[in-house]
Structure 1
């Protein structure tokens, strides 16, 4: 049987699918594995560039409100060398906190794994700390979370949206080493990684997908985890 003969199309749940022999399936998988290995190596090269990129020394003092009272940027490190700060879009008296930021919070790993590599992770928001703590309790999160008290967000390229900044502390000196926003934050999300492994993908209309795949606008299907139908 030729390869062409071993490939048939069939509509399954309204989506046109290619049904192949086990031999062809294994061949296709081998080709995918090659591409995945290339992507992995590309990620490794990108991470290497991050490790060797320049730093900016922070010469301004910043204050935050946390569960234990007022804190400085150095305090957020919690005696560790590295600090990852996620800027969550929770605002004062926010009736509808950002679904995307909440999905990020749902996917944060157990922080002990980061702590083992001398790294702290915290969230910051413009909302008052009393509202932050109430929202954390409602959502079941235990991530260290602080209220920004000054120009911290704007000074680090986060104004109306969300973002992630990385810092390094050497004694009393603090340096900014990295920043990303937009789809750069997808690397934090296992939800998107899992969906990318499935035949339907993320089911968003920017994706190339098999004919008949039902898709929606990006972001519109996102909900806080306790608000899905």
Structure 2
């Protein structure tokens, strides 16, 4: 009987390891700068007005798309794959949700985040209880929301992230990504990077007039932000 062990990286001296690490960190820093430039370009994307009066079922009753903002200016919608005839939610989407940040950090930057699926609210609430989640989750069953936003097609359900901006009662869609575009999500930084206002810190390359504060000055523990 033969056995095998997982392959291991090459073993080198401390000096050789330090040299190899330094070379890699140069490339990582370049990637970070490239990502900063891409985020700056995203903040300058044009937007499209949302004119349909979409309705959703939530645990407080039927609400509008405007209600999902909860009074904040920006809204991130995660299109969670859960069709009406499914017995449970998508496993991949569940991975994404379980890596989401504490929403208090997004709220501190005037940004709300919700999940939206086509399954009836009763099914969403049951799965939410099973998973131990407390994120706001709404059913779009009976509306054209999923189809209009590319989350339900002839091929079936699709996952993705839509970003919306509110100007008074006028709503706009500013960004969307799907497929592997959601893989890098998992911290409040990456979610804020998707929004038109970004992290709202002075080091960012943003259009004139964008809300900004000094880096890290706004950070709090999630129970210290207050209202």
* Common topology (TM > 0.5): yes
Aligned to 2:127: 135
Q: 2:117 aligns with which of 110, 119, 125?
A: 125
For 2:132 and 2:85, how far apart are their aligned partners in 1? 19
Partners of 1:44 and 1:166 in 2: how far apart?
18
Shift of 1:158: 1.4
Secondary structure at 1:15's aligned position in 2? Answer: coil
**Map of 1:76-225 to 2, 5 A cutoff?**
76-148=68-140, 149-159=142-152, 160-189=157-186
Question: Structure 1 residues 105, 120: closer, same or farther in 2, change over 3 A?
Answer: same
Please identify runs of 4+ aligned residues in structure 1 that moved more than 3 A: none
State the shift of 1:95 in Å: 2.5
1:45 corresponds to which of 13, 26, 37: 37
Q: TM (normalized to structure 2)?
A: 0.76
Aligned alpha-carbon RMSD (Å): 1.4
Per the alignment, residue 13 of structure 2 pairs with 21
CA–CA distance in structure 1, aligned partners of residues 100 and 6 of structure 2: 35
Structure 2 partner of 1:58: 50
Choose 1 or 2 for highest CA Rg. 1
Equivalent residues of 1:93, 1:131 under 8 A apart: no
Q: Which moved more, 1:85-94 or 1:172-181?
A: 85-94
CA deviation vs aligned residue, 1:14-61 (integer Å, no higher than 9, x gap): 315311110000000001110110111111111101100100011111
Distance, in Å, in 2 between the alignment partners of 1:54 and 1:180 is 15
2:57 aligns to what SS in structure 1?
Answer: strand
Q: TM-score, normalised by structure 1?
A: 0.75
Q: Give the C-alpha shift of residue 94 in structure 1.
A: 1.9
Structure 2 unmatched runs, 5+: 188-227
Paired residue secondary structure (1:123): strand
Partner Cα distance (1:13, 1:23) in 2: 27
* Cα separation, 1, equivalents of 2:63 and 2:126: 19
Encode CA deviations 1:93-128: one digit per residue, 9 max, x unaligned.
422421110001111111000000000000000111
SS, match of residue 109 in structure 1? coil
Q: What is the deviation of 1:84?
A: 0.1
